[in-house]
Every structure is written in C-alpha cells, then in structure tokens.
Amino acid sequence: MEGASGSSMIGAMGSPAHSEHLEDLIEYLDSSPSPFHAVANAAERLAAAGFVDVAADERWGPATTGAMLRIGGTLVAWHTGATAGGDAGRGFRIVGAHTDSPNLRVKPRPDTAGPLTRIGVEVYGGVLRNSWLDRDLGLSGRVSVRGPAGVTTHLVHVDDPVARIPQLAIHLNREINDTGLKVDPQAHLPPIWSLGPPRPGGLARYLGDHLGVPAADVVTWELMFHDLTPARVVGADQAMFASGRIDNLVSCHAAVTALVDRTAVGVDAADPIPLVVLFDHEEVGSTSATGAAGPALTSTLERVVASLGGDRTDLHIATARSATLSADGAHATHPNHPGRHDPDHQIALDGGPVLKVNASVRYATDAPGAAAFIECCGRSGVPHQVFVSRSDLACGSTIGPISAAATGITTVDAGVAQLAMHSARETCGAVDPGRFRTVLAEWLSG
C-alpha cells in the first residue's frame, strides 16, 4: 500500500461502503474551497442522480425526478415522489447543514503598499488565526466580470501557492513560548503575494489574466484563501482523517449523498418529502439572504406544498408533520486538554455520530427530536454519542435553533466528532463520515 496517498490506505478501515464514501468525500473537500464550489459540486452529484435545476423566478411542478434550487452559496434539494401529486400536507424530512467555513476573505481594495505586495484580508467567522500561518495558500470564490452580454459571475479556483503568511522568527520574539502567540488580524494576517511593490491593477490584473479578460472588466469579487494541503487519511493506523473545512463540508457531503441514497430506493407519494438544505453564512450568524435566518428554506417549503396543489393550511399541516436534523460538527474530547470537556460526556473520534444538547437552546435538540435521532441510529446499526458543554464554558451554536425558529419544525442537532474545529486544518475519524451518511439516509426516509 502507498503511504503517500490517503485514499490508497482507506481499505484498512471500516467497511467497503465507508471506504467509498471517504474517497468521494476527499474529492469533494479538495474541490470545494469556497461555499460556491461546495454548492456546484453538490449540484453535480445530484444532477448525476437525476435532480434538475429550478429557478426562483419560475413556477415549479412536482419534483418527480428531484429538484434543486441554487442561490449563491446555498442549495436546497428535494424529491416529491416518482409520480405527480400526493398529499400536499404529508410533511418533510429535512437535513440542514452549512457550506461556509472560517477563513480569510479578500478586501475590496486588497493591494497594500510596502516593500512586499500583500493582500488585505478580513477574518471570516471564528478563525483560529495561528493555524493560517506558514501555509501555502490558494485562492477561490467568485468574480463578477463585465462583458458584451452584461455582468456575469464566474467561479475561481486557484490551487497554486499564490500567497503565504510567515510567522515572526523566534529570535525577534523570544518570549512567545511563554507569553503565547498573539495574531492581530489587521497587522499580522495579510498574506504576502509577491516581491516588490504592487503591480498596476494588482489583484484585478491577476484575476483578469486567470479568466482571460482585461483587468478593467473585473468588476468585483468574493474571494477567500484556502490551505493547499489536500485532504488525506492520517495516523499510524490510518484511522483518522485530516482536511480543511471538515466543519461543515463533511455534513454537506453526507447530506447530499444520503439524499441520493434515499431517492434511489424510491419516494412514494405518501412518504414525507426528503429535503436537504445547505446554507451559507452560518459562521457569521446566518443573517443574510442565503443564511438560515433568510427565506431560502421557508420559501421552498411553501412553494413545494403549492406545487402539489396545497394551500396555506396544507403548509401548516406539512410543517407540523415535519422534522429537521441540523447536521454540524461536534467537539471530540481533546486528549491534551481534557479539562475543557464535561467529564461525564466524553466524545471519541469514530465513536459514532454525536447528538448535541444545550439547555440554553444553542442547539435545537428537544426530547422528541433526540428520540427520533437515536431511533434512526438504532435502525441503521450505528452507535451514537451525546455531547453537552461544560457548565462553566460557553457553547457554540448551529443553524438548528435559527431554522427551528423560522419554520416551527421539531429539530435535532447532531454531527461528526472532530478536533481542532475552526482551524485551517481539522481532524475527525475516518469511519464516522460514512456512518453519518447512513443515519441521514434513514432520517430522510421518515
């Protein structure tokens, strides 16, 4: 076996199904450095399974082959059944996740003056700033370009090492190992782009060359840096998995593949409608047109019910019969920092998907939702774990409480256990992503 290739070692772990899932997950992670790429790659997998694109500005019919709606970094996909019609109030089984990850976003005027050309960046989300230092960085996102037909938007994915953020040498900061590293986002995080002062046009010229258009036609962008280290299986026993964006593209990939699995066995007109929603902007609070606090999910639910001939009352009946699983990463117990975890709720890598509970509803899990999740794990033959934060530490949150408040649908929070959440490179077990897919497919079955 080849130790240099992560995917070549996968056969040593878990079942063949889990191995195949991890191989596809590696491809998905490496090809999805931005939310826009995460949506495009998810849509490609759905299209291969027969799902078709619909537009927000057109009328929808019943999604007899599966349908998907793309809005920037957000995707909603669903299947109403192999035959048109069915009870408009039969309800939904929903899996929600998010496509964005904490990173460094390029500013509108990024070219900085000085002896070296740097790119101005803003911190996006709760970044572990130090994890971005001394890494080869690529560039990705979307760029709006002026052309004969007007302004069009193009995806950009640069996997060349175009930038780096070097640390200050220890000789110039000898106290760092005692006082700790402090990274100022304005002063210390702009990546070095090139030697010498900025070229005329700077980043716009580079993007124009990359897209084959004049720099003057580059109107604006939403760009971000990403670590170029590929996703791979790690550990002496090849039982762990390391990558950027494990939070939360592991959940996005599991949700999409689970939806494909669910629809492959057939959706009857009497079954709950399986639906997956991948939101953008969770890491910055979800309050946007494409975030969980926006209208993407509620509007889609209403329009799907209408496509089946239902009215407003049918919509309320449908939501009352529905359930949502908010799929997002969970904290594994860190072996070097055990005091940061509740001693009675130890979470293991590859110990099974994690049910997440919080008394202040930072997670949306309630008793009925928790019971439904536990039953899904039992029917799937998959172990599960239960996470709760230490009572003296603040708890993070997810799309779960936000989407639950918007829809009134019973919601449960669960995810794959991981270490180094919000680092440029995170770690989880190699088997749990495939297990989570199995549980999500069972959840979507109702």
pLDDT in tens, 385-441: 999 999 999 999 999 999 999 999 999 999 999 999 999 999 999 999 999 999 999
Q: Is 264 helix (H, G, I), strand (E, B) or coil?
A: helix
pLDDT reported for residue 151: 96
- The lowest-confidence range among 31-45, 130-144, 189-203, 253-267 is 189-203
Q: Is 298 exposed, middle or buried (0-12, 13-18, 19+ CB in 10 A)?
A: middle
173 cis-preceded (ω within 30 degrees of 0): no
Cα separation, 70 vs 55, whole angstroms: 8
* Strand 330-331, strand 417-419: pairing: parallel
% of the chain surpassing 90 pLDDT: 88
pLDDT reported for residue 63: 82
Q: What is the pTM of this model?
A: 0.94
Residue pair 257/45 in contact (Cβ under 8 Å)? The answer is yes
Q: By C-alpha distance, which of 327, 280, 321, 330 is closest to 301?
A: 321
The pLDDT of 5-33, averaged and rounded, is: 73
pLDDT reported for residue 159: 97
Q: Summarize the chain as % helix, strand, coil (round to 5).
A: 30, 25, 40
pLDDT in tens, 215-234: 999 999 999 999 999 999 99
Confidence of residue 269 (pLDDT cuts 50, 70, 90): confident
pLDDT reported for residue 177: 94
Cα separation, 206 vs 85, whole angstroms: 52
Confidence of residue 84 (pLDDT cuts 50, 70, 90): low
Q: By C-alpha distance, which of 440, 427, 333, 428 is closest to 382?
A: 440
- Asked whether residue 113 carries a pLDDT value surpassing 90, the answer given is no
Confidence of residue 4 (pLDDT cuts 50, 70, 90): very low
CA 357 to chain centre: 21
pLDDT reported for residue 198: 64
Look up residue 164 and give its DSSP letter. B
pLDDT reported for residue 195: 86
Q: What's the angle, vertex CA 377, arms to CA 376 and CA 382, rounded to 5? A: 150
Confidence of residue 9 (pLDDT cuts 50, 70, 90): very low
pLDDT in tens, 291-310: 999 999 999 999 999 999 99
